[in-house]
Amino acid sequence: MFSIAENLQDLSLRLQRACEQAQRAAKDVTVLAVSKTCPPEAVRQAYAAGQRAFGENYVQEAVDKMAALADLRPHLSWHLIGPLQSNKTRVVAEQFDWVHSVDRLKIAQRLSEQRPAHLPPLQVCLQVNISGELSKSGLTAAEVPAVAQAVAALPRLQLRGLMAVPAPAEGLAAQREPHRALAALFAQLRATGLVLDTLSMGMSHDLEAAVLEGATLVRVGTAIFGSRPLKPV
């Protein structure tokens, strides 16, 4: 039987090796534990092992989990990484710390309007459909500059960077290509004067490729929690 604590330790070593290969400091890459479809107890175990940032795909499941883990709330950072519909922006604005999946200006505007004044600004990333997949959410690369400027100007939000979920690829070289493209777009935005610090890219199967191309945050689920159902029960 796998141990979440042991998995996190193994992941740390794997990340350290990737950073050494990229000639980067391991402290410059944050692990976001993707806890979707995991029970609250799994999050508690990860917390006990030192993990603090958790990513969720399904809004209602995440809110229920937050309630079950209310005692840990001051110590945890909750990130929405799944698609966000307009009718769920209010609860997300009220409950989450980060949203990685902002894929249109309308969503950002609603989050800005609905973020409570007593909370810190909501940290957001723009989701980019970097592989051009018809089945995936996200802005095209061409749309990103204008949307980024507009989102950066909204109150109660802080634009942190870009996120992408590239199409699966075999081999390190093929995996690096979309991450390289996202990193280039990120650099382009920074060159315009936007203050950005987050490249949310890389998952359990391709985190090495993402780190080599400059990822600052990797979203890891299976390598920490094991295989799980695709949707919450």
Per residue in 153-204, pLDDT (tens digit) is 999 999 999 999 999 999 999 999 999 999 999 999 999 999 999 999 999 9
Q: pLDDT-based confidence at 229, cuts 50/70/90?
A: low
Kindly tell me if the per-residue pLDDT of 232 is higher than 70: no
Is 49 in contact with 5 (CB distance < 8 Å)? Answer: yes
84-97 tens-digit pLDDT: 999 999 999 999 99
Quick one: the chain helix, strand, coil %, rounded to 5?
Answer: 45, 15, 35
Residue pair 30/11 in contact by the 8 Å Cβ criterion? no
69: its two tokens: 């883990």
E strands, the chain, are 30-34, 53-56, 77-80, 98-102, 122-127, 157-163, 198-200, 217-220
pLDDT of residue 102: 98
Cβ atoms of residues 214 and 197 within 8 Å: no
- What are the angstrom distances between the C-alpha of 70 and each of 28, 43, 115? 29, 12, 20
Q: Are 29 and 3 in contact (CB under 8 A)?
A: no
The 10 Å Cβ neighbour count of residue 117 is 6
Dump pLDDT digits (tens) for 48-65.
999 999 999 999 999 999
For 15-31, the pLDDT digits (tens) are 999 999 999 999 999 99
Q: Over the stretch 208-221, which tens digit does the pLDDT of each residue have?
A: 999 999 999 999 99
